[in-house]
Amino acid sequence: MNDTKLKVDFARATGLLVIEIRNTNPNGNPDLDGDPRQRPDKKGEISPVSFKRKVRDLIEDKEGPAWKALKEELKIKDEEFHILESRGREREKIGKEIQEEKFEGKYWDARVFGCTFLEKETSCIKTGVVQFGLGISVAPIEISRHTNTNKAGVQEGKDRGMAPMGYRFVEHGVYCMPFFVNPSMAHKSGCTKRDIDVLLRVIPYAYSNTSSHARPMVELRHAWYIEHRSPLGSCSDFKLIDALTPKKNTNPDKPSTCWEDYDPVPNDLPKDLKDKIASFRDLMNPE
């Protein structure tokens, strides 16, 4: 990518995902037999890698409805939106693409999230324009563990199967995951406004279109997106995030049981913050 030809045409931005879960494991911990991730203070966690994987999967599935809708809406081409962090990737082929300077023009996730590709002959280490933070539940979470049963046994001589504590889930939780768009990194990764537009359009479908047996009930209640007035930023990220983070209305140290356990989420920013930013919107409610 020739740095002199890349025009940064998007501003710095602060985002916040407000995620509600019901009887679901939003992100299992492989070190604890797949238990929902939980901090020592009993609050739940969702890793940034977990969320980005869902976004990548929707972009990578070129025959899926999400990608087809994005492709039609944004008038984009398959060959410019491949996924580097895909399973079974051909490392030698990617190394050759780096040498031939075809790498950035092909892999959308490398342009947006950055990449670390280390090989003997070729390497590519770049910080991404978009960084997702750790998703943390507003209140502590309650984890339940049930036994999974299977009508058809998998062992010889067994007419049924059981997996004790095989189904692990959080009864209810509201998580907040911040994310940040930093155009200062765009000239290094080749990221453009079009790449950011694809991300913003796919975020609302990240959970609803990737549900699974362990994760059947996850909903993005809000996906706040705040553009600053310049590529360098015009307001404190922390103040914006704090203003939009839900507050539990009673017993904040106890797990929640429903969405109504939280105060109504504001639909606007306080005036002192709004005066410092360029735009404020909820990606879940496109105009």
Q: Are 228 and 278 in contact (CB under 8 A)?
A: yes
Q: How far apart are CA 233 and CA 97, in angstroms?
A: 34
Residue that has been written with the tokens 């911990």 in this structure: 29
Average pLDDT over residues 19-23: 97
DSSP 264: P
Q: How far apart are CA 158 and CA 223, in angstroms?
A: 48
Q: Model confidence over 162-207: pLDDT tens digits?
A: 555 567 899 999 999 999 999 998 988 889 999 999 999 999 999 9
Q: How far apart are CA 248 and CA 259, in angstroms?
A: 9
Domain boundaries, the chain: 7-150+166-282
Q: Model confidence over 203-249: pLDDT tens digits?
A: 999 999 999 888 999 999 999 999 999 888 999 999 999 999 999 99
Dihedral sign computed on CA atoms, order 168, 175, 45, 114: positive
> How many Cβ atoms from other residues are within 10 Å of residue 147's Cβ?
10
Q: Are 256 and 263 in contact (CB under 8 A)?
A: no
